[in-house]
Structures are given as C-alpha cells and as structure tokens.
Amino acid sequence: MDVPSLTSDEHAIIDAIAAREASMVARVKSWSEVNSGSHNRAGLDRQRTLLRKAFATIGGEISETALPSVDEVLGNGEQLCRDFAPALVLKQRPEAPIQVVLTGHYDTVFGEAHAFQNWKMLDEDTINGPGTADMKGGILVMLEALRALEQSPHKDNLGYTVVLSPDEEIGSPASAALLTHYGAQADLGMTYEPALADGSLSGARKGSGNFSLIIRGKAAHAGREHHLGRNALVAAGKAVQALAELTGQREGLTINPARIEGGGPSNIVPDLAIIRFNVRMTLPKDADWVMDQFTQIAKVVDAHDGITAELHGGFTRPPKPMAPPNARLFELTRSAGAALGLDIRWRDTGGVCEGNNLWAAGCPNVDTLGVRGGSIHSAEEFAILSSFVERARLSAVLLLKFASGEFDAKSLRTLTP
C-alpha cells in the first residue's frame, strides 16, 4: 500500500478541522433532539431547515427536490399513496472535471412515539442519542470534510453534489431514483453511514427488498358457522412457512417474515392477514428467482377455496459487491487513512444503504465514512465523539487528493466490474 504524503497546505487544512470539534459536538447534540423519524413530516422539515442553514456556509446552490409519492399497504389491506419530505440537494462546481456525489439521510428509525428521544453522555467520549451515529453525526463529518476541500488551491478541479434524503431508514422508496440519477453522473460516491466502533468500514453488501402479502378470506361465527368461514390467518401461517424455507436455497439468501397483521376477536374467523417480509441476497440474478418463488407461493395460497392472495413490494437496493472499482476506492481510502496514522479495514455485511443504490448506477463508492459508533436502530445507539474530527480528516484527505489528481478519480469507472 502506497502511503501518500501530505503537503504543507494539506496539513494546514486538515489540522484546522480539530478547531471545530466543539461546534460539531454541540451541533450533533442539538440535532439529536429533533425527532426526524421517517414518517414525522414536521420533524423532518425542522431538521432539513437546520441542515440547509449548516450547508449554506460552504457555498454552492442549495435546493429542495420533491420526491414521488409511493403506495403503501396499510394494516387494513388497503393502499395509501404516501407523500414524503423533499430531499436536500447542494451542487458545487457542476462543470468541474471531477465529480463526486456525497449522500446521507436525515431521517431516523425513531418515530415520535418511541421512548428514545434525547441524548446523554455515557462517558467523556461517548454519546448515546437518536441519530448521533446514524447518521446526523455522519452528516457533520461530511460537512466538515467539504469545508476543508473549499480551502484547497485545487478545489476548482472537483465539483460535488450532496444528496440528503428523508427516507433511507425505510429503504429509500421515494429517493432511490434520485440517488441513481446523481450516481450515474459522478466519478465516485461517498456515503456517511457510521463506521463500526473499531473504525472498520463495510465492504460488500447484500441486496434487499421489502414485500407484503395480503391474504383475504371470509369472516364467520367461530362456533355457529365456522364451516362457512375461510381463515386468512391459517393461510398466512402456511405462506410464512413456505417463505422461510426459501432461506439458503441460494447462497447468502435470507427471507425474514417479520410481521403478520390481522385477526380480531377469538369468536370470529379472521378474514384478513398481511405478511410483511424482507429479503437479502448476494447476487443480482437471484432477484428474478426469488420473485418467481414469491409469485408461486401467492398462487398456491390464492388457489384455496375462498382465499385470495395479493403480493406487493419489490427490491429497493441491489447487491453491492467488492468489484474492482469499489475495491480500488477502498484501497485509496485505506491509503488516506494511513497518511493520518489510521489502519482502515473493512468487512462484508448483510446490511444495505444508499451505497447499494449508487453502485446500481455504476458509481464506485465507500458507504461508511461517518463517525465510529454502534448499536444503531436501538435505544443504545452511540457515537464516539473523538471520531468526528478523525473521520472528517479522513474524508478531507480523500477529497484533497482527488482534487489535486494524486488519487485518480477518473480511472475508477474504467476498471472491470
């Protein structure tokens, strides 16, 4: 591994990041106090206003991009056309020869009714709070790295687009097309999901999809006219077993039936059941096979007397392999880390993020450039405060080296996938 040297200008720019540590910590605390659950429109609007004010300090053109409505299956089996908060988009030097797309999300998994609403210090270097790691802390890392780039004498060589979405935690159903659009235009992508607590990054990622199977039967009195009813929950139980048995039939394939909704009083034959389930897969070609299996399971259920089955959903994130373009970008990231005395490692994961969407557009990317932290998606979520400066410096080195030409951004897409 070649370890790049840092020029005196680069040293000065990178060292200046440390002076902003206190403001980064103060800001992540205030942002954490804003509930921005994926379906909390008021909270998302408030958080987006704070983000717009913060990113205005680095220049560029800031706009809000409206996202399309998406059909959602409700608990009663009906469909709702759900609207979403807009994405925040910042464009800087769109005509520059090198283009980078930096993505993040300003929603969290914690809704208004969740008990986890406030931050607290676990020790002098560890904060526990909603979004502190995933990924309001990561957005701050992105912002400070871009602030550093704007001090570079080579900044005119590199333009960038920042995309901050409101729906990543629910699979990016509305923002997926926007990510694909900007990913297709960029030489590389940088996404700010949290790194692991030890500093490791995510390597190859599985693909993912979310589905609902709506099963309708016929209600009847459970005693007097049980024979006239058609039990939707019984049909759902058989379907769940069939779905679960698909796990492992392709390498790395997992099907997770996560929830069954339906039923009611025990003296009524239930006429509705909804199965919610998630899919993870290693190979893109497995998507067609899996969809065929889902369709067949729905047909078997639908064939029962008095029972109907209707499949909804789809794949929102394709797999992201450690293909040569991604592998080369990871090596450059490791080199940038080595210049700072960091030993950057990575490991494959079954998790998914916006990096999957960027890769689907052919955009090589590193997708865990955020703070070091852990226990995300739980009330134990934590971020390591000293990693805010550490990770901002890492991204700054990458951006500075791409801008100066020492790291060749243009060669990434030419590598054989």
Q: How do residues 121-163 score in pLDDT, each as one tens digit?
A: 999 999 999 999 999 999 999 999 999 999 999 999 999 999 9
Q: How far, in Å, are 93, 366, 371, 381, 403 from residue 122 at the CA level?
A: 41, 29, 16, 11, 39
Answer with the residue of higher pLDDT: 415 or 32. 32
Which residues, including other chains, have CB under 8 Å from residue 101's CB and lie 6 or more apart? 160, 161, 162, 163, 182, 183, 185, 186, 188, 189, 190, 358, 363
Q: How confident is the model at residue 379 (pLDDT cuts 50, 70, 90)?
A: very high
Pairing of strands 126-128, 382-384: antiparallel
The pLDDT, as a whole number, for residue 26 is 98
Q: What's residue 394's pLDDT? A: 98
pLDDT bracket for residue 15 (50, 70, 90): very high
- Half-sphere exposure (CA, 13 Å, Cβ side) for 289? 15
Of all helices (H) and strands (E), which one includes residue 104?
Answer: strand 98-105
DSSP 195: B
Mean pLDDT for the chain? 95
The span from the CA of 117 to the CA of 129, in Å, is: 7
Angle at 293 between CA 288 and CA 297, to 5 degrees: 150
96-114 pLDDT, tens digit each: 999 999 999 999 999 999 9
- pLDDT digits 0-9 by tens, 260-292: 999 999 999 999 999 999 999 999 899 999 999
The region of weakest confidence among 35-39, 317-321, 399-403 is 317-321
Element (H, E) at 228: none
Residue 124 and residue 371: Cα distance in Å, rounded? 16
Question: What is the predicted pLDDT for the residue at 348?
Answer: 86
In contact, 309 and 236? CB cutoff 8 Å:
no
* Bridge partners (DSSP) listed for residue 315: 209
DSSP secondary structure of 116-179: ----EEEETTEEE-TTTTTTHHHHHHHHHHHHHHTT-TTGGGEEEEEEEES-GGGT-TTTHHHH
In the block, tokens 């988009």 appear at 89
Residue 206 has pLDDT above 80, yes or no: yes
User: pLDDT by residue (tens digit) across 210-230?
Assistant: 999 999 999 999 999 999 999
- The half-sphere exposure of 382 on its side-chain side, counting CA atoms within 13 A, is 17
Domains defined along the chain, listed by start: 8-205+320-414 (3.40.630.10), 207-317 (3.30.70.360)
pLDDT, tens digit, for every residue of 304-328? 999 999 999 999 899 999 999 999 9
Looking at residue 313, what is its pLDDT? 93
Helix (H) or strand (E) holding 79: strand 79-82
Under a CB-based contact definition with an 8 Å cutoff, are residues 382 and 128 in contact? yes
Token duo for residue 139: 């957005």
Tokens (6 digits) for 172: 């990016």
Region 330-341: mean pLDDT is 96
Q: What is the pLDDT of residue 78?
A: 86
307 residue type, one letter: I
pLDDT at 332 over 90: yes
Distance CA 226, CA 236 (A): 18
- Reported as a pLDDT band with limits 50, 70 and 90, residue 4 is confident
Q: What is the pLDDT of residue 417?
A: 65
Phi–psi pair at 149, nearest 5 degrees? -55, -40
Q: Which range, of 4-8, 340-344, 366-370, averages the lowest pLDDT?
A: 4-8
Structure confidence at residue 241 (pLDDT): 97
